[in-house]
Amino acid sequence: MIEKERHVLIILPHPDDEAFGISGSIAAYRNMGVPVTYACLTLGEMGRNLGEPPVATRETLPEIRKAELIKSCEAMGLEDLRMLGFRDKTLEFEDDEEMVKLVEDLIEDTNPSLVISFYPRYSVHPDHEATARAVVSAIRRMKEDERPKLYAVAFANNTEAELGMPDVIHDVQDTIENKLNSLRAHISQTVWMMKETEDKLAQNDPEIKKWLRYERFYAYKWDMDFK
């Protein structure tokens, strides 16, 4: 069962980060009437894929990905999208305090009961890691009784060995179509993956159905040092 929240704040670095492991939950929150704010830090303009056949060039990719992100949010029923304008693959070089201040401002503005982002050290990409560090640092500085919950996505190879099994599992059976449409929206990046996914769904593959149905999160462990 997905717990109803006062307000959910999603902070991620790239268009399509939301689609893979969070979009079903976002759609579920919106169906409950829960306000959801999605702060996307970059436009993913350094993405490796340009579509197949190509739908973009290096010059047009930022606008293509922006349009895809908007379409993904429409698929989830999410209206409060904030595109923050950082450059893809450079977040690790941003000033740490400025990144933390950005997160603090988002939290002050939205007053969330839940924040969703990546888990430091277990999210693979440097932009994911920089975002996660800023989110954790900002919430850690809050008074304990005022902190929102933090659900973190982690998918490094050593995640379960070091963190154990996910603390929170959302069954998003009722919003799988929203999730699929969110993934389809990012077609410049997901074209091959979606072809394989659609083929497996047509074959009634149990693993792909399980992947789509369950979204897994770690409740951040505040006694953990990510540095």
pLDDT single digits (tens) 190-214: 999 999 999 999 999 999 999 999 9
* Per-residue model confidence (pLDDT) at position 155: 95
Categorise residue 82: left if φ over 0, alpha if ψ from -120 to 50, beta otherwise: beta
At 16, is the secondary structure helix, strand, or coil?
coil
* Per-residue model confidence (pLDDT) at position 53: 53
Residue 182 lies in a domain: yes
* Per-residue model confidence (pLDDT) at position 209: 97
* Per-residue model confidence (pLDDT) at position 184: 97
Q: What is the span of the domain harbouring residue 206? A: 8-219
HSE, CB side, 13 Å, CA atoms: give it for residue 174. 11
In this structure, what are the phi and psi dihedrals at residue 41, rounded to the nearest 5 degrees?
Answer: -75, -35
Residue 3 lies in a domain: no
Q: Which CATH number do you get for residue 139?
A: 3.40.50.10320
Average model confidence (pLDDT) across the chain: 93
Residue 224 lies in a domain: no
Residue 225 lies in a domain: no
- pLDDT tens string 132-162: 999 999 999 999 999 999 999 999 999 999 9
Residue 227 lies in a domain: no
Residue 101 lies in a domain: yes
Structure token digits, residue 155: 């998918």
Residue 127 lies in a domain: yes
- pLDDT tens string 20-63: 999 999 999 999 999 999 999 999 876 566 556 556 566 688 89
Residue 226 lies in a domain: no
What's at 33, amino acid-wise? Answer: G
What torsion do the CA atoms of 207, 210, 214, 216 make, to the nearest 10 degrees? -20
Q: How many domains does the chain have?
A: 1
